[in-house]
């Protein structure tokens, strides 16, 4: 007579990979909705990383608690990045910020041993900051960005100085601060919402 007890493996197994895939899909859909909403107004664009952080807390935290192993968050980030890249929507800048945020988030999970809620929340806030790469070229390539616009309008004949100043008015240090801080603050709030829903639903129903 033999008795077999199953020990949870620390490496990602088939089921983990599938769980990551499914929750990445939910994450991506929410992310994509706000990516589209960002087209409405430049302000929406700057606040986009924040909004995404607020609403993706639930899928992120569920994934983090269902797959308490190294790599889950990194793969989720890579998947989103790859889909955005293959559809032509990710540029080099966001790829860099997004990838570094994923790695940092993963490191924080490692340091906090995957189980701690605080650790996961911090990693989520950092993960969310990755999306700032989308509007960031406004600051990074400030000169060429506005030069291009003014050259273009210049060729068109009339330069509206007022219009240019409003544009550059958005790309201020203050706004940059908002851009970076929003996902951190809203990310923490998103994680707290997730915590509330965990308590109300997911733990009670026994899925995490």
Footprint of another protein on residues 62-121 (CB under 8 A)? 62, 66, 71, 75-76, 78-79, 82-83, 85-89, 91-92
Q: Which residue of 25, 37, 178, 180 would you call a contact of another protein, by CB under 8 A?
A: 25
Q: Which residue has the tokens 């309008």?
A: 153
The CA R_g of the chain, rounded to the nearest whole Å, is 20
Given the complex with another protein, which of 88 and 174 has the nearer CB atom? Answer: 88
CA 131 to chain centre: 5
Q: Is residue 143 within the footprint of another protein (CB under 8 A)?
A: no
Say if CB 203 and CB 62 are below 8 A apart. Answer: no
Least distance CB 139 / another protein (angstroms):
12
Q: To which H or E segment does residue 96 belong?
A: helix 92-111
Q: Which residue of 145, 175, 176, 178 would you call a contact of another protein, by CB under 8 A?
A: 145
Q: Which residue of 31, 34, 35, 45 would you call a contact of another protein, by CB under 8 A?
A: 45
Given the complex with another protein, which of 167 and 180 has the nearer CB atom? Answer: 167
Say if CB 128 and CB 188 are below 8 A apart. Answer: no
Distance in angstroms (rounded) separating the CA atoms of residues 32 and 122: 23
Least distance CB 61 / another protein (angstroms):
10
Least distance CB 156 / another protein (angstroms):
4
Q: Which of residues 146-205 bind another protein (CB under 8 A)?
A: 147-149, 151-153, 155-160, 162-163, 166-167, 170, 197, 200-202, 204-205
Burial class, 44, CB count within 10 angstroms (exposed 0-12 / middle 13-18 / buried 19+): middle
Distance in angstroms (rounded) separating the CA atoms of residues 63 and 17: 11
């Amino acid at each position: 007579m033999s008795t077999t007890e199953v020990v949870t493996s620390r490496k990602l197994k088939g089921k983990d990979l599938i769980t990551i895939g499914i929750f990445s899909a939910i994450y991506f859909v929410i992310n994509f909705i706000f990516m589209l909403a960002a087209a409405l107004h430049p302000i929406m664009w700057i606040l986009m990383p924040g909004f995404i952080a607020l609403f993706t807390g639930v899928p992120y935290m569920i994934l983090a608690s269902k797959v308490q192993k190294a790599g889950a968050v990194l793969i989720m980030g890579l998947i989103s990045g790859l889909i955005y890249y293959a559809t032509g929507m990710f540029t080099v800048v966001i790829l860099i910020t997004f990838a570094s945020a994923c790695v940092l988030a993963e490191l924080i999970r490692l340091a906090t041993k995957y189980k701690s809620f605080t650790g996961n929340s911090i990693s989520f806030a950092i993960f969310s900051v990755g999306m700032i790469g989308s509007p960031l070229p406004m600051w990074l390539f400030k000169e060429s960005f506005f030069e291009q616009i003014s050259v273009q309008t210049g060729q068109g004949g009339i330069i509206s100085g007022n219009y240019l100043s409003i544009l550059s008015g958005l790309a201020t240090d203050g706004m940059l601060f908002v851009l970076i801080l929003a996902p951190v603050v809203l990310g923490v709030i998103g994680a707290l919402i997730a915590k509330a829903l965990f308590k109300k639903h997911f733990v009670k129903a026994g899925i995490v």
